[in-house]
């Protein structure tokens, strides 16, 4: 699950540029709270971060997120209320201390806190685990190409499929698990061992043997994500030439409160 956390934080990190937003808030820009929180069914509630923005100090100085400590944060689901506490080791990070309490799937959760005498809140629904996640094959045999060899034109295709009857957003993370890389082609000199797709409404994705750069074991993680995550991804994909205010579902704040669910499969790439 470490890679799951890393992937979503890569998106949420871009929220630090909210200082460019010109919206009219009733509190000053340095007091705008940023909530970065997500829930993973089957895991404890332990990924909630609260920070604020320091405004631009000059034209050449970027803003940065400053942790917000000593705030009472509660998460609700049905009749259950979970009061979070702040980590002693990481300022601004909050979690529910009972690690036996796990997030349930297909449930509505809300988050509430008070900051600068304003109620900050958001809601999300935890997705169900992806259904019928399958690979059409779990083994590729690829001929090693040495210097002077003729390239092979044999292309194998693996179809990755899953059910998507409700029109949900999904994305894939395909990554080499081996710590020592073994290129299939002598011309490959980089260390690109991961493919990350974008969140889309789909139920199929194809990979071919031409996509396989290294021999070894690959892990395929399928993420089922909520609309708010997909919207955040699309708005943070803007370039500096076309800035778009990142999507937020936080009332009286910025950031994201979302949930996602995953399933994992593996395949092998071997030499013949």
Residue 149: what pLDDT?
A: 74
- For the stretch 188-225, pLDDT in tens is 888 889 999 999 999 999 999 988 999 999 999 999 99
Q: How much is the CA Rg of the chain, to the nearest whole Å?
A: 22
Which residues are CB-neighbours of 189 under 8 A, at least 6 positions away? 183
227-235 and 2-12 helices cross at what angle (nearest 10)? 50
Residue 63: what pLDDT?
A: 52
Q: How distant, in Å, are the alpha carbons of 128, 197, 225, 263 from that of 171?
A: 15, 5, 8, 11
Regions in the chain scoring below 50 on pLDDT: 2, 5-6, 10, 14-15, 17-28, 56-58, 60-62, 239-242
- DSSP label at residue 235: H
Q: Which long-range contacts (CB under 8 A, 24 or more apart) does 178-184 make?
A: 178/214, 178/215, 178/216, 178/217, 181/214, 181/216, 182/214, 182/215, 182/216, 183/213, 183/214, 183/215, 184/142, 184/144, 184/145, 184/212, 184/213, 184/214, 184/215, 184/269, 184/271
Return the sign of the alpha-carbon dihedral for residues 80, 86, 88, 89: positive
Q: Indicate the burial class of 124 (C-beta count within 10 angstroms; 0-12, 13-18, 19 or more).
A: buried
> Distance between CA 93 and CA 135 in Å, rounded?
37
- For the stretch 216-226, pLDDT in tens is 999 999 999 99
- Tell me how long the chain is: 272
Give the fold, CATH level 3, of 134-223+264-271. Answer: Immunoglobulin-like (2.60.40)
Our CA angle for 259, 260, 261, nearest 5°, is: 140
Residue 133: what pLDDT?
A: 98
pTM of the model: 0.83
The CATH 2.60.40 portion of the chain extends over 134-223+264-271
> Distance between CA 30 and CA 53 in Å, rounded?
5
Residue 61: what pLDDT?
A: 47
């Amino acid at each position: 699950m470490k890679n799951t956390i890393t992937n979503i934080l890569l998106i949420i990190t871009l929220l630090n540029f909210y200082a460019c937003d010109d919206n009219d808030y009733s509190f000053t820009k340095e007091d705008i709270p940023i909530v970065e929180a997500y829930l993973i069914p089957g895991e404890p509630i332990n990924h909630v971060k609260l920070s604020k923005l320091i405004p631009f100090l000059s034209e050449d100085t970027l803003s940065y997120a400053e942790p917000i400590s000593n705030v009472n944060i509660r998460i609700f689901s049905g009749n259950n209320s979970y009061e979070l506490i702040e980590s002693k080791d990481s300022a601004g990070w909050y979690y529910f201390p009972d690690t036996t309490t796990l997030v349930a799937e297909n449930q509505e959760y809300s988050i509430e806190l008070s900051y600068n005498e304003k109620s900050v809140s958001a809601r999300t629904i935890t997705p169900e685990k992806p259904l019928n996640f399958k690979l059409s094959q779990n083994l590729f045999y690829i001929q090693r190409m040495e210097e002077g060899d003729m390239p092979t034109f044999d292309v194998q295709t693996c179809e990755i499929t899953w059910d998507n009857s409700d029109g949900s957003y999904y994305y894939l993370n395909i990554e080499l698990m081996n710590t020592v890389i073994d290129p299939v082609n002598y011309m490959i000199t980089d260390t690109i061992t991961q493919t990350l797709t974008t969140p889309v409404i789909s139920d199929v994705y194809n990979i071919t043997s031409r996509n396989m750069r290294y021999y070894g074991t690959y892990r395929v993680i399928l993420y089922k994500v909520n609309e708010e995550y997909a919207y955040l991804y699309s708005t943070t994909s803007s370039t500096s030439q076309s800035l778009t205010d990142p999507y937020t579902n936080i009332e009286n704040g910025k950031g994201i409160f979302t949930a996602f669910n995953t399933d994992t499969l593996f395949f092998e790439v071997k030499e013949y």
